[in-house]
């Protein structure tokens, strides 16, 4: 079930669909019940066609269409932005530092071979899949997640990932736009990209290639590893099942919003 506090934040963001007066057709399933079905698929990883009808969520196809329409309306993205602003108001969002990280997920259906945002991974025996690129703040709260093919190099997404973080509201005064320091592992260790990070007025602390493990970055990069672990607690995100990359991105953004909501509940 969708918790009351989370539903109070989601409901105003949902697009209003007026029922046709002359040819009304079948009555639409309640949005909250459909959202419960979407969350059930996100948590369990079950296929849409196997969504239990006895739970009253509606058919899997109805939930899929509603997720598609809500994603096109930007519901998940706006919910994530709203929760980030509330976390900042509660003093739980810290931009003193940020960390970036990447994880590869396999594409497990044949129709995805060569599909959008997929590629053969060089670190997973050439298996076709996608990459999740995550940036988190000092305490591991996800700020943005991008999706690319499994063959994309981590460092190519460093600047787009920083730019994917929108200005964060929540307090009077200047909006939060950029962290002060950015931590990353050796996969991002290119001087060209270090210079680009500096031009954004961010101090880059990126491990040099050839340095051994235990260099001290783990003290600050634990947040991004923890955020990836929390994202993969949602079974639907452990593998790439969606042919459409926008549907998978909608699931990822919804998962980030739920993580932010769980953090926010501790201050309420």
Per-residue pLDDT tens for 132-183?
Answer: 999 999 888 999 999 998 888 888 888 899 888 888 876 666 777 788 898 8
Question: In terms of Cα–Cα distance, which of 2, 103, 84 is closest to 43?
Answer: 2
**Residue pair 132/256 in contact by the 8 Å Cβ criterion:** no
Express as a percent the part of the chain with pLDDT over 90.
Answer: 39
Q: Exposed e or buried b for every residue in 142-180, given b needs 16+ CB within 10 A?
A: bbbbbbbbbbbebbebbeebbeebeebebeeeeebeebe
Report residue 256's pLDDT band, with 50, 70 and 90 as the boundaries.
very high
| Helix-helix angle 60-72:31-44, to 10 degrees | 100
Give just the sign of the alpha carbon dihedral 31, 234, 221, 198.
Answer: negative
Residue 212 has pLDDT above 60, yes or no: no
- In the block, tokens 């497990």 appear at 108
Report residue 216's pLDDT band, with 50, 70 and 90 as the boundaries.
low
**Which has more pLDDT, 67 or 211?**
67
**Partners of residue 214 on adjacent β-strands:** none
Q: In degrees, to the nearest 5, what angle opens at C-alpha 158 toward C-alphas 171 and 90?
A: 20
- Give CA–CA dist 201/195, Å, rounded: 10
Provide the whole-model pTM. Answer: 0.90
Question: In terms of Cα–Cα distance, which of 174, 127, 179, 180 is closest to 149?
Answer: 127
Report residue 121's pLDDT band, with 50, 70 and 90 as the boundaries.
confident
């Amino acid at each position: 079930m969708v918790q009351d506090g989370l539903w109070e934040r989601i409901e105003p963001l949902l697009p209003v669909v007026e029922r046709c007066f002359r040819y009304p057709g079948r009555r639409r399933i309640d949005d909250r019940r459909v959202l419960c079905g979407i969350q059930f698929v996100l948590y369990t990883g079950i296929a849409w066609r196997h969504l239990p009808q006895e739970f009253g969520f509606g058919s899997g196809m109805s939930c899929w269409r509603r997720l598609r329409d809500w994603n096109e309306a930007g519901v998940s993205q706006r919910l994530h932005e709203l929760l980030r602003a509330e976390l900042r108001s509660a003093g739980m969002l810290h931009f003193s530092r940020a960390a970036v990280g990447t994880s590869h997920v396999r594409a497990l259906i044949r129709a995805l071979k060569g599909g959008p945002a997929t590629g053969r991974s060089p670190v997973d025996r050439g298996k076709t899949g996608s990459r999740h690129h995550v940036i988190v703040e000092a305490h591991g709260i996800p700020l943005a997640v991008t999706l690319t093919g499994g063959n994309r190099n981590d460092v190519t997404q460093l600047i787009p990932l920083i730019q994917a973080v929108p200005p964060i509201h929540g307090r009077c005064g200047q909006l939060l736009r950029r962290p002060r320091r950015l931590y990353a592992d050796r996969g991002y260790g290119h001087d060209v990209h270090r210079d680009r990070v500096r031009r954004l007025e961010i101090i880059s602390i990126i491990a040099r290639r050839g340095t051994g493990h235990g260099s001290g970055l783990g003290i600050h990069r634990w947040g991004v590893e923890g955020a990836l672990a929390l994202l993969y607690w949602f079974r639907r995100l452990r593998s790439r099942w969606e042919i459409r990359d926008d549907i998978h991105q909608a699931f990822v953004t919804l998962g980030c919003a739920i993580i932010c909501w769980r953090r926010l509940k501790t201050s309420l």
